[in-house]
Amino acid sequence: MKTEKFSSSLPSSQSPPLDSKNALLRGVNALIVQQATDGSWEGEVVWCAMLAAQYALTCYITQTPISQKRREALLLQFTATQLPSGLWGLHNQSEPYLFTTTLVYVAARILGVNKDDPLLVPAQQFIQQVGGVIAIPSWGKFWLAMLNLYDWRGVNPVLPEAWLLPDWLPVHPKNYYCHTRLIYMPMSFIYGRKFQVPLTQLIQELRQELYVSDYNAIAWKAARHALRTEDVYNPPTSILRIIYYINNIYESLYSKALRQKVSHELIKNIQYELQTTDYTSLSPVSGLLNIVALWLYDRNDQNLHQTINHLEEWMWEDEQNGLRIAGARSSTWDTAFAIQALKVASSNLDVSASLLKAQTFLASQQITESFPNYQHFHRIDPQGGFCFAGVWHGWPVSDCTAEALLALTNAPSTVLSSCNLQDAVKFILRCQNSDGGFGSYERRKIASTLEWMNPAEMFGNSMTEHSYIECTASCLEALGEYSLHYPDVMSQEIDIAIQQAKLWLLKQQMPDGSWPGFWGVNFIYGTMFGIRGLLAAGETKSPAIRKACRWLVSKQRPDGGWGEHFQGCLTNQYVEHTKSQIIQTAWVMMALLTVGTNHWEAIAKGANFLVNMQLENGEWPKQDWAGVFFHTALLDYTLYRSYFPVWALGMYESRRKERISLESV
C-alpha cells in the first residue's frame, strides 16, 4: 500500500523573483523532492470510489475480514468523494451516477453505516426518486446479483461458453481489448455459477432500501434492459439486444458438463493472469472479480491467497482522503516523463545525480524475457516492453515503452547495460496496427471495433484495441530517436513503420488542424502528440504542423494560459474551460516549442501564466483532472502538474537563450 507523499516547501525566507528561470529552478527542486529513494517517481492515479466500494463488497462476498481501522479509512474515502449533491459519480466532475452511488451505498451499509446516517441519506433519497436500482447499468446489476440484491434473471447472460467459439470468429473474446477481455473472463465464470451470498437480515433490509416495490414481485426479465439514461454513454444496439435474446435462450438449455469444462479453462486463464502479474491482475477492476471467481472455485487455491495479499499494491491511504484503490499504478510512466523533463532542464541546471538514479531505476523496469505459453492465453510477447506501473505488472504498453526509451536515450553505458533498447523497439513494432497507427497493450486483432456489441453502457470504444494518436506519436518519437543513435540496427523495418505511422497520423488530423485525444483532455492533448509525432517522422515543414500550431494559438485565453473542459470528451468537440489549466498550458507550450519559436508571443504568455501560477514551494496547484479513458472516466494523474510545467519551462528557457544569442549576433 502506498502512503501519499506530501512535498516539503523549499526553505526560503523570501520568494525569488517571479521569472521563468527562477520558476524553472523552483519547479525542478520541487520535482526532485518528490523522487523516491529508488530513483523513481510515482503519483497516485485518482479515479472514483467505485473500486473502494467493490473492494468492500468483495471482502463481504468472500468472507474476508476488514479491520476497524480499514473500515474507517474506506468510509473516509466515501465521504471525501461525495459530490456536492451528497451522491457519487464516475469522477469528481460527473453528474451523479446510480451505478456508483448504489455500490457506495451498499458498501457503506455492509461496513456498518446505518441507513439514516447523514452520509447515506442523500443516496437513499436519490435511489427512491429514480425508482430504485432496477435501471442500474449492467455492471451494477452483476455486482448486486452476487450480493443477492438483484435476481440473476434480470442480468443479461455473460456466457462462459463464448470462450469456446471458433478462434476465427471476430466475436471471440480473445479479440477484445485486454481490459475488457480480462474483466469479462471472471464475470463469465461467476455468471456460470450464478452465485449469491446468503439472505441475511442486512440483505433483506437492503432489498427494501434499494427498491420502491416488493422485491419478490419484480418482473426480472423486463429488468434486463432497464437502464437509467443518465448513466449511459453507449446504449445497447439492436444487434446486441438480439445477441442477448439468443444468449437467454441458450442459458435455458445449456449443457452442465460443457459449462463445467469451460469454467475449468477460465480458471486456468485467471491463474495464468495472476502468475504473470505478480498476483495483481491487469487492473483491480478485473482483479477483484478474479478473487471472487477463485474463491468460488477453490477457497484453498494458493493463487487466491496471493492475490488477496497483493491487493495492497493498488491501495493509497492518507488521513485526508482515507483508503482508495487506484485504477492504475504509474511509476514507469511518471519516471519516464520526469526524466525527460529534467533532461530538458539540465541545459540550465545540474540535475545529473537525480537523472542517474532515475535512469538506473527505469532501466531495471524492462521485461527481459517472454512469458511461457503467452500465445495460448491470447497475449502478445511482452519481451522488451515497459509497463505503465512497473516490471512486476507484466502488461507492457507501447507508449510506456516508447517514453521509457526516450528517457533512457544518452543514459550512461552502465545504465544501458541493464536493459535492451533493441528489444524495446521490437516490442513497439509488435504493437503497430495494419492501418499504421499503434495500439496500447497490443495490436488490434480484427478489423471491426465490435462497438456494436459493447455491453458496458458507461464506456465507449472499449471493445478492441484502436490506433491512438498519443501512442502513435510516442512510438514515432522513440523509433526516430533510436534510429539516430543506432542507424544500422533494424533500419529498414523502422523506416517502414515510421512511414506507415506518419501517413496514419496525417489522416487523423481534424479539418481545423487539431487531433482528438483518447487518454487525456482532449484536443489539446491529442494535438500536442500529433505535432510531436509528425516532427519525429520528418515532417519539419509540414502544412499539417503549421495548421495545428495555428489552432493551438487560437485557443489561448486572455491570461496567457490554455484550458479545455472535460465535457468535450463526451461530445467530441472542443469545449473551452472557464479557467486556464496549468497542465494543458504546459502541453501547448511543449508542442509549440518543439516546432520552434514562430509563435513566440503566445509561448511567452504561456510561460508567464505558469510562472504566475507557481506556488511558493515550487509546485503548481491542483486543478481539474487531465486524464481520461473510454471517453467518460476522468483521471487525476497527480504528478502531471509537477513535471509537465518543468518540461515546458525548460524548453522555454533553452529557446529564450537561443533567441538572445541570435539577437546579439
Cα dihedral: 189, 190, 193, 197 (round 10): 160
Tell me the three cell numbers of residue 95.
Answer: 453528474
Q: List C-alpha distances in Å: 24 to 12, 63, 610, 648.
A: 16, 52, 10, 9
Strand order in the sheet with 45-46: 45-46, 633-637, 627-629
The whole-angstrom separation of Cα 312 and Cα 324 is 10
The whole-angstrom separation of Cα 624 and Cα 584 is 10
Q: What is the bridge-based pairing of β-strands 627-629 and 2-3? A: unpaired
If you compute the radius of gyration of the chain from its CA atoms, what whole number of angstroms results? 25
What phi and psi, each to the nearest 5 degrees, are found at residue 81? -100, 5
Cβ-based neighbour number of residue 422 at 10 Å: 13
Q: List C-alpha distances in Å: 626 to 93, 257, 276, 306, 398.
A: 11, 49, 31, 34, 21
Instruction: Just list the catalytic residues.
Output: 399
Instruction: Quote the crossing angle between the two packed helices 640-664 and 582-595, to the nearest 10°.
Output: 40
Residue type, 252: S
Sign of CA dihedral 228, 45, 379, 433: positive
Residues near 543 by beta carbon (within 8 Å), at least 6 away in sequence: none
Which residue's C-alpha cell is 512486476?
392
